[in-house]
Amino acid sequence: MTHTIGRLPRIAVVAAAILFVGGATAVGQTDPSIYVNVTSKQDKAADKQFGEDYHEGLREMLENRMFNGLKKAYPCIHYLDRSAAGQMLGVERMRELLGGEGESRLQALAGAVGAGTLGTASVTVMGGTVVIGGSMMNTSSAKTVGRAQVVVPGGNSDAIYAAMDRFVSQLVGSAGGDGPTCRGWQGEISASAAQHDKGKNPNGDPFTWDIVLKITCQIGKGDDNEPPCQLSYANALVGKDASTKTSAGGQARCNAGFGIQKGIAKITIGSCQIKGTSEVSVGGQSASDEPDLSLGGWEVELPFPPGTRNLSGSRQVDRLTTVTWNLTWK
């Protein structure tokens, strides 16, 4: 059963119409790019053992593992391969830049497409052995910032997949702090709401109604489309002979984030999805349930001065709810 906490508790719960995430950019705040070139070759002994096209299949495998591994290591990076570079520059211009193959030519191509980092990788099959190697270079300084190489027996696709993943991991590790830097907004946004009422029902019996909601999300960590968020919620309506209590706590799935658009900063938090526990007690009888709850859903807009690198503050968005933020461009 799905429950949506609505207007009755007077804690606003609305679906966020637009999701602004940390990936949104302002002028001068651009994500890094990498141009990756993957090659392959094999000797005649490998031709006889695996077939003449074996290295081409391995190259396609490595291209896939390079993309997945580098995007995992640098989530913000714009990944460009030869096809993407050709679309940006035009095929003839790319051929002109490449001329004779070589790292210096590749560096010129990476610079032409605005890539701050050049990644090269190769698969070489020698007899029954597969050698996977490559490097990363800072295109502005022409400095090699990372190198890696792994060797694996040919013929076993699972073992080669694992070796390729190991190669990419070693390449990223060797680059360390000299590798691409994912800059972006990092920090915390939170919302807190509370309601405490008491009164009497039509029979004159007293009741209390207490609701407390707290949502805290870490921006710039994990997947921007679903940042790590913690939620705590308690809703208790207690009368003389009856009560209802609903609560939830822990990690929640929230539409939350921060972005900048046309000089306006927009902060959103919620709605959040979490499984709760509910108990109803009437006349000495009780029943329990585990409803799916939808909680929160606020948005704050404020002017964003150009060049701002720190943004903090709070705003009361309705009579019961305050949204707070503390964010830094890193």
pLDDT for 111 equals 83
* Domains identified in the chain, total number: 2
Q: Which of 142, 158, 178 is the last residue of a domain?
A: 178
pLDDT for 313 equals 96
pLDDT for 1 equals 40
Specify whether the CB–CB gap between 305 and 265 falls below 8 A.
no
Bridge partners for 123 per DSSP: 40, 132
pLDDT for 24 equals 29
Bridge partners for 293 per DSSP: 3, 274
Q: Which residues contact 154 (CB under 8 A, 6 or more apart)?
A: 46, 49, 50, 54, 125, 128, 129, 130, 160
- Which domain does 269 fall in, by range? 2-26+183-329
Helices 82-89, 91-98: axis angle to 10 degrees equals: 110
In terms of domains, do 38 and 109 share one? yes
Tokens of 176: 């360390």
In terms of domains, do 155 and 239 share one? no
Specify whether the CB–CB gap between 26 and 265 falls below 8 A.
no
What single-letter amino acid sits at 76? C
pLDDT for 95 equals 72
In terms of domains, do 64 and 190 share one? no
Tokens of 138: 């800072």
Kindly give the confidence (pLDDT) of every residue in the chain, 330 residues in length, as a single tens digit, with 9 standing for 90 and above.
444 333 333 333 322 222 222 222 222 345 688 999 999 999 999 999 999 999 999 999 999 999 999 988 887 788 988 888 878 887 677 777 776 655 668 888 888 888 899 999 999 999 999 999 999 999 888 899 999 999 999 999 999 999 999 999 999 999 988 888 877 788 999 999 999 999 998 889 999 999 999 999 999 875 555 789 999 999 999 999 899 999 999 999 999 999 888 889 999 997 999 999 999 999 889 999 999 999 999 999 999 988 888 999 999 999 999 999 999 987
Distance CA 112, CA 160 (A): 33
Collapse the DSSP code of 248 into the 3-class scheme (helix H, G, I; strand E, B; otherwise coil) and give the result.
Answer: strand
In terms of domains, do 219 and 323 share one? yes
In terms of domains, do 139 and 251 share one? no
